[in-house]
């Protein structure tokens, strides 16, 4: 009895395994039928997905003029910065400027109490007048002694003494003249004037305070902002090209850009002023200074700006959009569309870049069609559809084509979901456009799965 039970159980297990095997491969066959060839995604070998075309956007390589720029980060530096200090000691009587005011050289900024200096000037003037009178009297006596000596009425020694006295008084008058000039200068220093033209900073002292000539803080700081300079650094490898332009005597244009590097509206445009006389050994860079008129005051001292300096202009060079460049194991390459509407991979050597155009030194000739959109699905020898490019849609056309294709894929996905619910769990199979016979195949596969499901339920 036990042997019959063991054989019956073995038979039931064999039947169950056979049924599972049958339904498993019955369900897997339709899914494999709708899965697109791996080559259609651009990852298969050459020849996979033969007959399929990939929509791309391509533009011709062209000859154009490319400007070569050197870029760096710079700091706005005033041409001159002066801390205005008092030259004499005294109390501030009046402050004649406003903070942030634009002043000209010679404008009076502060008045210090002048009365002590006026009194000192009066005293020196009186002393000089006295000594000048003594000098005049000594000269009169000298003339008288010379007459008496000629008449042999006095000794020669008396005349020599009088001449020495005249010279003594002349020295005293010169000392008095120096004291007088100094007193006048001290009186002039009681009116603090602007040594340069520029913009005033914040006031350091107020009226009523006593200032001294030795104060280090000063009264106010003036910075000259028109013109203004920008100091920036460049790698030492670029120095030969820069010095070649400098030695030629040409003016090198320089632009100051904001943080966003907006090329349409630069902050200011100027020219290179000078190059430093030595390279910084710690950074391997050399400092340069550019000057800007700054009439609109858009550049401010100590402001950080992006500097763009025009160093060369290359004419009649082959350029392609920078978006067309791809990087592979062998370096940079592009996809070139041939006359039979197939693409070939072309290794290229690039040069400088301006905006969205890159110079191609070797690898591409002017007029060749270069793929700029849709490269992710391409491979060597793949067929392409240039309908969007022929209509002049450019990138927008390529995006519209992809959106249109996405809409078709959504429609196909909805149809597949309505015909068979198990197929809706396979979103990856809709990544590439399906062939005309794929839709009936999916519907047929869905029908087979429903039939198999009904049998299983029975």
d(CA 357, CA 347): 17
Q: What pLDDT is recorded for position 51?
A: 58
Q: What pLDDT is recorded for position 355?
A: 80
d(CA 215, CA 205): 11
Q: What pLDDT is recorded for position 375?
A: 84
Enter the tokens of residue 413: 């996905």
Q: What pLDDT is recorded for position 42?
A: 42
Decide: 325 and 350 in contact? Cβ < 8 Å: yes
Q: What pLDDT is recorded for position 261?
A: 82
Q: What pLDDT is recorded for position 130?
A: 96
Give the number of other Cβ atoms within 10 Å of residue 439's Cβ. 15
d(CA 320, CA 333): 12
CA-closest candidate to residue 451, choices 420, 427, 430, 425: 420
Contacts of 73 (CB under 8 A, 6+ apart): 232, 304, 305, 306, 307
This prediction's pTM: 0.61
d(CA 399, CA 40): 19
Contacts of 91 (CB under 8 A, 6+ apart): 112, 113, 208, 209, 210, 211
Does the N-terminal peptide bond of residue 149 adopt cis geometry, omega within 30 degrees of 0? Answer: no
Contacts of 272 (CB under 8 A, 6+ apart): 242, 246, 251, 252, 254, 288, 289, 290, 309
d(CA 197, CA 96): 15
d(CA 165, CA 415): 128
d(CA 47, CA 304): 56
Angle between helices 438-457 and 2-34 (to 10 degrees): 160
Dihedral through CA 406, CA 410, CA 411, CA 414, nearest 10? 170
Give the chain's residues under pLDDT 70.
1-6, 21-51, 387-458
Three-class SS of 73-97: EEEEEECCEEEECCCCCEEEEEECC
Enter the tokens of residue 378: 């391409």
d(CA 412, CA 404): 12
CA-closest candidate to residue 319, choices 49, 50, 59, 20: 59
Domains of the chain as residue ranges with CATH? 2-40+403-457 (no CATH), 53-63+316-395 (2.40.420.20), 70-79+229-312 (2.40.30.170), 81-222 (2.40.50.100)
Q: What pLDDT is recorded for position 10?
A: 75
CA-closest candidate to residue 284, choices 241, 244, 237: 237
Buried b / exposed e over 102-119, threshold 16 CB at 10 Å, is: ebeeeeebbbbbbebbee
Alpha helices in 310-354 (DSSP H): none
Q: What is the per-residue pLDDT across 90-113, written as a single tens digit (0 to 9) for each? A: 999 999 999 999 999 999 999 999
Give the number of other Cβ atoms within 10 Å of residue 323's Cβ. 16
């Amino acid at each position: 009895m036990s042997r019959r039970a063991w054989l019956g159980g073995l038979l039931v297990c064999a039947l169950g395994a056979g049924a599972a095997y049958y339904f498993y491969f019955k369900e897997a066959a339709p899914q494999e039928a709708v899965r697109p060839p791996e080559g259609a995604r651009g990852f298969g070998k050459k020849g996979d997905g033969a007959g399929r075309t990939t929509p791309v956007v391509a533009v011709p390589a062209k000859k154009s003029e490319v400007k070569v720029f050197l870029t760096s980060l710079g700091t706005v530096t005033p041409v001159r910065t002066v801390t205005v200090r008092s030259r004499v000691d005294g109390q501030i009587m009046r402050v004649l400027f406003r903070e942030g005011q634009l002043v000209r050289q010679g404008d009076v900024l502060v008045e210090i109490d002048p009365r002590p200096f006026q009194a000192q000037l009066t005293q020196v003037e009186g002393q000089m007048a006295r000594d000048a009178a003594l000098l005049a009297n000594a000269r009169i006596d000298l003339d008288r002694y010379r007459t008496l000596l000629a008449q042999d009425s006095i000794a020669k020694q008396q005349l020599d003494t009088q001449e020495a006295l005249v010279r003594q008084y002349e020295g005293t008058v010169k000392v008095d003249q120096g004291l007088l000039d100094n007193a006048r200068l001290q009186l002039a220093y009681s009116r603090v004037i602007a040594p340069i033209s520029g913009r005033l900073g914040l006031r350091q002292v107020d009226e009523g305070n006593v200032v001294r000539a030795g104060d280090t803080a000063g009264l106010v700081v003036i910075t000259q902002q028109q013109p203004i300079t920008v100091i920036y650094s460049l790698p030492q490898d670029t120095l030969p090209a820069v010095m070649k332009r400098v030695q030629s005597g040409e003016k090198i244009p320089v632009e100051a850009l904001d943080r966003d590097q907006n090329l349409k509206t630069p902050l200011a445009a100027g020219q290179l002023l000078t190059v430093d006389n030595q390279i910084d050994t710690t950074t391997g860079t050399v400092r340069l200074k550019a000057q800007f008129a700054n009439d609109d005051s858009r550049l401010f001292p100590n402001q950080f700006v992006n500097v763009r300096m025009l160093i060369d202009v290359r004419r009649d060079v082959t350029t392609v959009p920078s978006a067309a460049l791809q990087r592979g194991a062998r370096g940079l390459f592009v996809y070139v569309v041939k006359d039979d509407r197939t693409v070939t991979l072309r290794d290229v050597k690039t040069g400088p870049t301006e905006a969205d155009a890159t110079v191609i030194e070797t690898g591409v000739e002017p007029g060749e069609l270069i793929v700029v959109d849709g490269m992710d699905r391409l491979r060597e020898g793949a067929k392409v559809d240039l309908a969007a490019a022929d209509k002049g849609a450019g990138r927008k056309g390529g995006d519209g084509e992809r959106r249109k294709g996405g809409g078709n894929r959504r429609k196909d996905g909805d149809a597949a979901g309505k015909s068979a619910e198990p197929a809706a769990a396979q979103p990856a199979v809709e990544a590439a456009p399906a062939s005309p016979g794929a839709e009936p195949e999916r519907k047929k596969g869905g029908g087979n799965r429903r039939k198999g499901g009904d049998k299983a339920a029975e």
